[in-house]
Amino acid sequence: MKYNHEKMMKDIINLDQTAYHHSIVVFQDTFLPFANRYLVYWDKRWQCWFFLNYPTQQDERKNVEIIGDKISRALKIDSSCIRLERKCQKLQQKYSESHKEERYYDHVFYKGTITVFPELMKSDSFDIDGVSYRWMTMAAMKANPDVRKKNLDVVEVVEKDF
């Protein structure tokens, strides 16, 4: 049998060891004079505070459009008040607590800006549609045992690149 484009595509797919392609959106509490906290949400499955994150679409423009729409709906903010700026992309290998194995993660990081904050979001913590959110400093995230164990690599990228 000849080696053709279909076999080549199967080989390429089999070579891709990336388990997850996610876009991570980082918002700071810019409604304060000295922004030093970041928006995180409580992920019930992982039992951990995470930055907002969404599956990455291959097309960059489509990715930004879908993420902006999801953030708008989740945080009850008009999409015209949300800006996303791509900062970096990191391929990271780490142990997955939920899967109990080493996995590869392809993370695209965005700096999110909210131009008009709803009053609710100015609280230290708040709930929207059953999702718990809070503002946390880098120090608080790094001191949290769950964050250290499950998400320190992402926190360190944000600390370094934002």
| Residue 70 falls inside a structural domain | yes
Ranked by mean pLDDT, which of 88-92, 97-101, 133-137 comes out on top? Answer: 133-137
**Would you state the pLDDT for residue 95?**
80
78 or 5, greater pLDDT: 78
| Residue 12 falls inside a structural domain | no
Domain count, the chain: 1
What CATH number should be reported for the domain holding residue 120? 3.90.79.10
| Residue 103 falls inside a structural domain | yes
| Amino acid at position 107, single letter | H
pLDDT greater than 70 at residue 1 = no
| Residue 154 falls inside a structural domain | yes
Helix (H) or strand (E) holding 153: helix 145-161
Q: Cα angle vertex 154, ends 148, 159, to 5°?
A: 95
Find the domain containing 39 and state its range: 17-161
| Residue 142 falls inside a structural domain | yes
**Would you state the pLDDT for residue 27?**
98
- Which residues fall within 8 angstroms of residue 104, CB to CB, at 6 or more apart? 17, 18, 19, 20, 91, 92, 93
| Residue 1 falls inside a structural domain | no
| Residue 6 falls inside a structural domain | no
